[in-house]
Amino acid sequence: MADTRAAPAVVRELMAVCSGAVSEDFLSYALAVKFGGDAEALAVWLLDSDKAELGAAEAAWEQLCEREERQQEELRLLKERNKQQVLQKFDLRIVPEPKDAKKGSKAPALEAWRDKQAPKPKVRYLDGRVVSTKGEKFIIEKTGEDWDGGSRGKVFTKGKRGKGFV
């Protein structure tokens, strides 16, 4: 319920007017909600009403309070149930809040969408020997000669007419 607490001194004065026929909480509610903060109008209503009418109004207010409490509880339960469904659907863990935000402690990373199957092997073989342990899909084979001992001849520097001219 919204904050219906009126000034305590005004509520005490109104309690004296109605000679304790209704509760202090009901008077606070009536002053704030029913009469919009108009204490004089509430006092006139209290004086004009008999005890049965005041009791009926207070009973209706209590039922309203109980109904609002039930609705808030149902809303809280619905919110909790939806939260659990989302967590279950996406297979996430709740990230705990860091104990001290000033220190900047890191929260553990989320483990989202875990594979239900066994993980693929990371080792790759070619002709019966291991060629990769990182799990790369494609392997580059070196087909050229490593070092021919420098038998290709003299290396010409690049002159003003281009490579190979002296």
The torsion angles phi and psi of 88, rounded to 5 degrees, stand at -70, -40
Whether residue 68 is contained in a domain is answered as yes
Please report whether residue 60 resides in a domain: yes
Q: Is residue 97 part of a domain?
A: no
59 domain residue, yes or no: yes
Work out how many domains the chain is built from and give that number. 1
Neighbours of 91 (CB within 10 A): 12
pLDDT band at 81 (very low <50, low <70, confident <90, very high): very high
Query: What Rg value do the Cα atoms of the chain yield, rounded?
Result: 41
Q: Which two tokens stand for residue 145?
A: 């000669």
5 pLDDT higher than 60: no
Residue burial 30-44, b: 16+ Cβ < 10 Å; e: rest = bbbeebeeebeebbe
Average pLDDT, integer, range 3-29: 75
Q: In the predicted model, is pLDDT for residue 18 greater than 80? A: no
Domain that holds residue 78: 8-90
Which of 2, 14, 116, 24 minimizes the C-alpha distance to 68?
A: 2
The pTM of the whole model exceeds 0.75: no
Domain assignment present for residue 152? The answer is no
Residue 99 counted as domain residue: no
Domain presence at residue 164: no
162 found inside a domain = no
Tell which wins on pLDDT, 61 or 120: 61
Mean pLDDT of the chain: 76
CA distances from 31 to 10, 25, 53, 67, 68 (A): 9, 10, 17, 20, 19
129's tokens: 């020997």
Q: pLDDT of 26-60, one tens digit each? A: 888 888 888 888 888 888 888 888 888 888 888 88
